[in-house]
Amino acid sequence: MKIDFKKEVDHVARLARLELGQEEKKLMAEQLSGILETARRVQELETEGVEPTSHVISSPALMREDRVEESLPLGRVLQNAPGRDKDYFRVPRIKPGE
């Protein structure tokens, strides 16, 4: 069954309320086709006997033991602060009216 990706792109764009030009639609249809073709090829791979993994590579550096180390001196930490109030960073208010 052949999928009309231009029609799919039109449908998704309409749902997302996006206004796309013809060139953008054509590009996105090509990209969608490529993504689904890659997924189809991955599904064809023989995975019998392959152990499930959460990562494709091992990361032993992330599993190091925690160590207590000396912190940076406060003056050095605050030296590039946009503003300072005693030993704290002073930053612009995020919520208006507070």
pTM over 0.85: no
- Using one digit for the tens of pLDDT, what is the confidence trace for 25-71? 999 999 999 999 999 999 999 989 988 887 777 666 666 788 899 99
pLDDT at position 54: 76
**Structural domains of the chain ordered from first start:** 5-43 (1.10.20.60)
φ and ψ of 77, to 5 deg: -60, -40
Cα-based distances in Å from 72 to 49, 75, 78, 86, 89: 50, 8, 10, 17, 15
Of the two residues 63 and 3, the one the predictor is more confident about is 3
- Using one digit for the tens of pLDDT, what is the confidence trace for 13-23? 999 999 999 99
Q: In DSSP terms, which residues pair with 89 in a beta bridge? A: 84
